[in-house]
Copies of this chain bind each other. A is one copy, B any other.
Amino acid sequence: MKERTLIKEAPQKIGKQIKVEGWINTIRSHGSIVFFDLRDRSGILQVICEKKVPEGLKEEDVVCIEGLVKKRPQKMENKDIETGKVELEAQKIERISQAVDLPFALKDTAGLSLPVLLDFRPLTLRSEQVKAILKVEEEVIDEFRQTLKSLDFTEFQAPAIVPTATEGGAEIFKINYYETSAFLGQSPQFYKQILVGAFERVFTVAKAYRAEPSVTTRHLSEYISLDAEMGFIEQWTDLMDTCEIIIKNIFKRIEAECSKELKLLKATVPQISKNIPRIKMREAQQTILERTKRDNTKEPDLTPEDEKEICQWAKEKHGSEVIFITHYPTKKRPFYTMPDKEDPDFTLSFDVLCRGLEITTGGQRINDYKMLVENIKKWGNKPEQFEFYLQAFKYGMPQEGGFAFGAERIVKQVLGLENLREASAFPRDMARIDGRLSNNE
């Protein structure tokens, strides 16, 4: 049996007999001649067949083809595909798997509505647009890992089943766990902090779960959290410095590895200044007041509109589509966030906004056992419930902090997607787990 040639290798095989395998991407007949584009994991190739083709051959059929690679006449070259200078003259076409009629053309899924994109996910995942999004996501995650490894961080695997609804809030999923109950972790926060005691610098690519009670374009019930934590920081801004390295490396990686995908999706990576601007939340609110006359200067957080406005400001003023907002109010942050000694109503915390949306949150943590216990009480919780976590601080913990990126959010913002769901292969929300939930028994 002849060995399979990958489509991208075809241009190097002009004049040779090859065997290719893949899906029929598009097909059309001109009289007795059938033209089709064959798709495999490496690319797309035009195939011409003047012989008999399997009956009813159609899009998404899987075929094995033997034929001759021919150079195309120059005026017939197709610059849109990498194999555009050649075509395959098919001598033998064998159908491996037969598809039913498609509900829509797969060639361009950009025009499909989100419900259709998701109802037919096993099919739409095959489109060039959706694959491009997932390719960018793969690179984002891999670059997060590579950068942190290069900075001497240890990778660990965080558990998702947790014993208590620790970080507060009702937005947590409950599990029937043998004879008792457990929960799905809202973040690997406690575990990464615990592991600072072992490895100083740790990271994980984890799942985070939020029982978001409303449908928005920027939340998922299950999302990919890129979490890192580092001990022995000299000052809390070390955390932002590390974030900044990661962000810059991710953008560089996407530009270098995903030029085809960026072009296809008509996207450009966000512009950033040499140093990403850093401003306090209160200053941001003041700036917004001056620009828009909208007075949110007493609010404890930026509204979605504020986030867009301050990003606009950063772009105009600093040439940066990314900005750090710092010093969120103590009351609005979790109990473990370190207050600013100089102004204890505010914390040594930050968010990263990119093109109007938060993509990262982080900050210094309280590493003093007694202060942590006090804060647990102040936040209305019982220290006994945090016994496991507290051990890490009881037995000596340096000054430390960390941050978490939402992987899908980075992808959404870089690619300019309208809905976060588009950045997930299999998004989960109130109304959907694969299929629509109302259709479920």
Given known A4-B232, A222-B161, contact A156–B138 (CB-CB < 8 A): yes
Measured between beta carbons, the chain B residues less than 8 angstroms from A42 are: 152
> In the complex the two chains form, is B391's CB within 8 Å of A200's CB?
no
Residue of B whose beta carbon sits closest to that of A124: B198
Besides A157-B407, A161-B222, A195-B425, 18 other A-B contacts (C-beta < 8 A) = A24-B396, A60-B395, A62-B398, A96-B398, A122-B395, A123-B391, A123-B395, A138-B154, A138-B155, A142-B155, A159-B222, A159-B425, A159-B428, A161-B173, A161-B184, A175-B175, A175-B176, A177-B221
A-B contact pairs, 21 of them (CB 8 A): A23-B197, A97-B393, A102-B395, A120-B391, A121-B391, A122-B391, A125-B195, A131-B198, A141-B157, A157-B205, A157-B224, A161-B209, A163-B435, A164-B440, A174-B175, A175-B176, A177-B437, A178-B213, A180-B437, A191-B426, A388-B434
Once the chains bind, are B440 and A99 in contact (CB under 8 Å)? no
Q: A100-125 interface mask toward B, CB cutoff 8 Å, 1 = contact, 0 = none?
A: 10100000000000000000111101
Shortest A188–chain B CB gap in Å is 10
Q: Are B125 and A161 in contact (CB under 8 A)?
A: no
Contact B98–A396 (Cβ < 8 Å): yes
Distance from A353 Cβ to chain B, minimum over Cβ atoms (Å) = 24
Write the A258-284 contact mask toward B (1 if CB under 8 angstroms, else 0): 000000000000000000000000000
Residue contact B425 to A41, C-beta cutoff 8 Å = no
B21 touches A232 (CB 8 A): yes
Establish whether residues B180 and A440, one from each chain, have CB atoms under 8 Å apart when the complex forms.
yes
Interface assignment of A51: CB less than 8 Å from any CB of chain B: no
Contact B197 A126 (CB under 8 A): yes
* Main DSSP-derived SS at the A contact region: mixed
Number of copies of chain A assembled together:
2
Q: Which of A213-272 contact B (CB under 8 A)?
A: 213, 221-222, 224, 232, 234
A33 close to B (CB within 8 Å): no
Residues in chain B near residue A134, CB distance under 8 A: 154, 156, 198
Inter-chain contact A398/B125, CB cutoff 8 Å: no
A196-211 interface code vs B (CB 8 A; 1 in, 0 out): 0111110001010101
Range, interface on chain A: 35 or more
Residues of B within 8 A of A221 (CB): 161, 177
How far, in whole Å, are A7 and B48 apart by their CA atoms in the complex? 66
Q: A41-B152, A156-B425 are in contact. Are A184 and B191 (CB under 8 A)?
A: no
**Do the beta carbons of A211 and B125 come within 8 Å of each other?**
no
| A397 and B62 form a contact (CB under 8 A) | yes
**Would you call A301 an interface residue if the criterion is a C-beta within 8 Å of the partner chain's C-beta atoms?**
no
Are A60 and B396 touching (Cβ within 8 A)?
Answer: yes
Contact B178 A125 (CB under 8 A): no
Q: With A173-B176, A388-B435, A389-B122 as known contacts, state yes or no: A100 contacts B428, CB within 8 Å.
A: no
